[in-house]
Structure 1
């Protein structure tokens, strides 16, 4: 059990860390990563159907296909990946900053990969926006929401929405959200209603039923730091913190009620959740302190893959 104040300290540190031409770039294959390598600033995680686990970082994308026994760096080795999401059709989307070896404009806007991070192509907003949160609707991946947490030229802070898989974006005139959008930690749209949104914020759980225009606090006693959805269902999986318990929890009614599964991380918390698209009992999480854990039984038992960023 932990209080919101303890976790707020972890989240604040994570926010500080995350603050730190051609329109297409091909990677140079894979680079083997040896034991002892330490990743800094994990910014996303995914669990693919072929058992590959992808982790986006401040310095590129890591991948392992054998449960952490061997690791490689994928594609563009030094991208600073920020918002990252694997859509239900298998496409990857990201935002962030180009690396030193890149000729792309900064920030990256919205980048798309159709081959698991080997190549990235600019979809929109190159040199204009850095989305720290990107989330695609599971049933309709053409609908994507992005959170721009800092003003960037003509692009003001706010929630942006795309109806065509990231090509065109419109800023939503939202009411009710925290004034500082860094206080939004995670966002998801309902698999059966792309206009129903749930956000984990410093104010508690907030929801919108009109595509993000108006928001209300629906559970001020719960802090959600990460959330995902089980393939082919309406079941949400989150890392939730209340005054009674903290850990992986699931909800079949879009956040009205939650079932506890375990994994209390003490003063740490889960920042990102990846769920296997075929076997949902397989999941992987990345924490704010850069630890990566995997489970094969729906969250009962966990194996450490990265310990505070270090390959085991």
Structure 2
């Protein structure tokens, strides 16, 4: 494994409907060339719109980066951003100066593509850097709390009812420092089976995140997602042999490359249009965004090192 590259790349990285009036829920045009700070997640909606969760809120483009809009009025630092298979959005993070939520903001959900957000749980208590949900039942959500103390300390948090009731899980077998876990995915085969991309390799849990063992020590998966067919998974794989975006049709046992080798950079999040598997968006740790509409044959770099192109 390219340990030197992995460590150097990944160290770089490493409201509201209840709080916003309908008059504030709008799209605001922003100029190309604008600088943004950090991309914490990406989502591709069924209509082809690409959403980017950043340090200063949510942005969108409907035309592959030719024009951009700020979504809503919030300026929160959107961590753990996840667009679920039903099109709803989850996020966590920290409030900006114009957001009247406590810090951290806990788990928030949007049913209208980020215009308005509802409080779900842990507001003022937890900042989830990773949120993932089960493809076949989005009410099943896992959150990775990499830091924290006391009752709301580091660990994996799980809900099976959309966020009404959560269980804190102490993951046995993952690195003690959960900052060394870079991606988390619920495999489509079972809501209790998860893969984690860690500094030491890919690990698997078959009991809802409680116990973990090594699954593949030949690669690091810096980002993962489930394909729209609800069977295959997609991930950004880094290994001694080959790196890039890859598809697995056997739950991560083998992988087929579809290109996009980012060299010394790495993918931080991946999203696929649930109505068109050929439209994929990939964000990277150096604040870049790549999109394809043909399944990976041709890629467009529409955000380059933090600049909206």
TM-score range, shorter chain: over 0.9
1:102-251 matches, within 5 Å, as: 102-251=99-248
1:292-311 matches, within 5 Å, as: 292-311=289-308
1:30 correspondence with 2:27: yes
1:46 correspondence with 2:43: yes
CA distance in 2, matches of 1:141, 1:22: 20
CA distance in 1, matches of 2:34, 2:45: 23
1:250-269 matches, within 5 Å, as: 250-269=247-266
TM-score normalised according to structure 1 size: 0.95
* C-alpha distance 291-182 of structure 1, shift in aligned 2 (>3 A): same
CA contact (8 A) 1:226 1:273 kept: yes
CA contact (8 A) 2:141 2:163 kept: yes
Give the C-alpha shift of residue 309 in structure 1.
Answer: 1.3
Q: Deviations over 1:65-94 (max 9, x none)?
A: 111111000013311100111111211111
Give the C-alpha shift of residue 173 in structure 1.
Answer: 2.6
Aligned equivalent of 2:73 = 76
Write out the 4+ residue segments of structure 1 that deviate beyond 2 Å after TM superposition.
Answer: 21-28
Aligned equivalent of 2:267 = 270
Q: Deviations over 1:139-169 (max 9, x none)?
A: 0111000001111452110011011112221
CA distance in 1, matches of 2:122, 2:163: 9
Aligned length: 306
Q: What is the CA RMSD across the aligned residues, in angstroms?
A: 1.5
Q: What 5-or-longer segments of structure 1 have no aligned partner?
A: 16-20
CA distance in 1, matches of 2:6, 2:30: 31
